[in-house]
A and B are shown apart, each in its own frame.
Chain A
Amino acid sequence: MQLDQPVKPLVRLSGVWKRFGKLEVLRGIDLDVNEGATVAIIGPSGSGKSTLVRCLNHLEPIQDGAIEIDGFLITPRGVEKSGRLLGQREVAKFRTLLGMVFQQFNLFPHLTVLGNIIEAPTGVLGRDRAAVTEEAMDLLAKVNLADKANVYPARLSGGQQQRAAIVRSLIMHPKIMLFDEPTSALDPELIGEVLKVIGELAIKGRTSIIVTHELAFARDIASKIVFMDAGLIVEEGPPDKLLTSPKLDRTRAFIARIL
């Protein structure tokens, strides 16, 4: 897949700190994510995984350090491009660079599945409605939801909702995909169908960052696994190495607990 392409980081975090009041949630995070790579983040509850992901699209401001994403720079001041601080509208536009999939799906309950999917491409990007609808139906077919286009989310199973939510992100053609425990809210028998869509559709050829407790899945898809604990990246490496022979006891204990 990544034969002779020049590898350069599309996302680079340097010394990122995040505090909620006195609580230090990220305590100097350094991380590179190469173009086309898939980074899986694992770690115990409360270690700051969600917060890290939310800092990447500036849902959370940071207090120190910097995040470079495809020519944009996130600092404690906000989002900058070429040294200029972006306004509210431009930050919103910047966010379309990244797609985000949530643990709780967060589909819009007052819109049908199709309505959910075409809302942002037509409204935010101003793309042609007919063309977007066609693309949406195409994607829905790929995730086996073609017959649910005109159904409200409340009528869908968790697995179906999450697949629809993934399509809603993908239709924005994001350069980077973020997943925050996309299968943690699902009944065990529904996890497989969602992981399949993530592996075969969502992250194909796209830079991705995924927080997950599905270690077998992480091993299959990740180019790098990052283990976080107490606001720090304490260990990172290729999946086989990190999962089978971790350097630190903490990492080993965590992996043993999940497996």
Chain B
Amino acid sequence: MSFGRFYRLIADNADVIGFGIWVTIQLAIVSMMIAVILGLIACLGSLSRARILRFPSMLFVEFGRNTPILVQLIWVHFAWPEILGIKFSAWTSAVIALSLQSSGYLAEEFRAGIESIDKGQIEASQALGMTYQRLMRRIVVPQALMRMIPGILNQFVTCFKSTSIVSVIAVPDLMYQAGLIVSMTFLPMPVYSFVAFLYFVMVMVIALGVRFATRRLPQFGYFNQRHGGE
């Protein structure tokens, strides 16, 4: 295939590809935002002393982490409507499955973050008259979140890559749009090669951004500990 024909193929389908990219980005961002909130709730639940909160939270986390994303996706899309009696769009199923997976991982990271907070912080808060709820909200969770920024960003990269799986339930993400183009043009080699290249560039850019952001963190006041002092 000449470069000219390749260029025309891409140019002719630019809007189809562009739409796919947009859906992929949306999926990753929306799923991650939900996952951060769900992960935090699940984490606080699994740290709770009340068994009625702890057990379901732990189950949720372990399920999210220990089932393949493809299985979760198919299960949510085809089984949940029957279990719950509600019909979702493929997009909704995709967001649910992706959030489920990411929130499981994030909950574990949150927990490690919270448990890494020095006991002295909790004692100082208690000595100042804070209740458990207040000291979690004002002292422990904010510090844990700051420590987790690199973990959250890395999970975002993973989540972004995972989005490609949603094409199997016909969510029009980049991968699905590529399949559409192939079925119209019968040119799998150039189309899929280009899509692989696109994923590579996008993930690479995000990963580099993450690495840059993570390296800049120590310049904010709170992270200055290791370098600051006297």
User: Total A-B residue pairs with C-beta atoms closer than 8 Å?
Assistant: 87
Q: Which residues of B are found within 8 Å of A208, using beta-carbon distances?
A: none
Q: Are B120 and A102 in contact (CB under 8 A)?
A: yes
Residues on A lying within 8 angstroms of B by beta carbon are 54, 57, 59, 88-89, 92-93, 95-96, 98-100, 102, 104, 106-110, 112, 119-120, 123-125, 151-152, 154-155, 157-158, 165, 168-169, 172
A177 to chain B, nearest CB (A): 11
Does B121 count as interface, using CB distance less than 8 angstroms? yes
Q: Which of B212-226 contact A (CB under 8 A)?
A: 221-225
A154-B139 in contact given A104-B120, A119-B128 (Cβ < 8 Å): no
Q: Are B129 and A154 in contact (CB under 8 A)?
A: no
Q: Are B146 and A110 in contact (CB under 8 A)?
A: yes
B211 to chain A, nearest CB (A): 23
Q: Are B134 and A123 in contact (CB under 8 A)?
A: yes
Q: Which residues of A are found within 8 Å of B16, using beta-carbon distances?
A: none
Q: Are A154 and B224 in contact (CB under 8 A)?
A: yes
The residue in A57, A59, A125, A154 that gathers the most chain B C-beta atoms within 10 A of its C-beta is A154
Cross-interface CB contact of B129 among A54, A59, A95, A104, cutoff 8 Å: A95
A211 to chain B, nearest CB (A): 15
- Bound together, the chains give a CA A46 to CA B127 distance in angstroms of 22
Q: Are A106 and B128 in contact (CB under 8 A)?
A: no
Cross-interface CB contact of A106 among B124, B132, B143, B223, cutoff 8 Å: B124
Cross-interface CB contact of A155 among B123, B132, B221, cutoff 8 Å: B221
Besides the known contacts A100-B123, A154-B225, A165-B124, 13 further A-B residue pairs in the complex with CB atoms under 8 A apart? A88-B132, A95-B128, A102-B120, A104-B120, A108-B143, A109-B143, A110-B142, A110-B146, A124-B128, A154-B221, A154-B229, A158-B230, A172-B128
A108-B121 in contact given A88-B132, A152-B221 (Cβ < 8 Å): yes
Interface string of B107-131 (1 = CB under 8 A from A): 0000000000010110111111111
Question: Residue on A with the closest CB to B230?
Answer: A157
Q: Which residues of A are found within 8 Å of B228, using beta-carbon distances?
A: 152, 154-155
B135 to chain A, nearest CB (A): 9
Does B138 count as interface, using CB distance less than 8 angstroms? yes
- Bound together, the chains give a CA A110 to CA B149 distance in angstroms of 14
12 examples of A-B residue contacts, CB within 8 angstroms = A54-B123, A59-B123, A88-B131, A95-B126, A102-B120, A108-B121, A110-B146, A119-B128, A123-B138, A152-B224, A154-B225, A169-B127
The residue in B127, B132, B134, B229 that gathers the most chain A C-beta atoms within 10 A of its C-beta is B127
- Bound together, the chains give a CA A108 to CA B129 distance in angstroms of 15
Q: Are B221 and A89 in contact (CB under 8 A)?
A: no
- Bound together, the chains give a CA A151 to CA B228 distance in angstroms of 12
Q: Are B129 and A92 in contact (CB under 8 A)?
A: yes
- Bound together, the chains give a CA A95 to CA B134 distance in angstroms of 14
- Bound together, the chains give a CA A125 to CA B128 distance in angstroms of 10
- Bound together, the chains give a CA A92 to CA B129 distance in angstroms of 5
Q: Which residues of A are found within 8 Å of B129, using beta-carbon distances?
A: 92-93, 95-96, 120, 124-125, 172
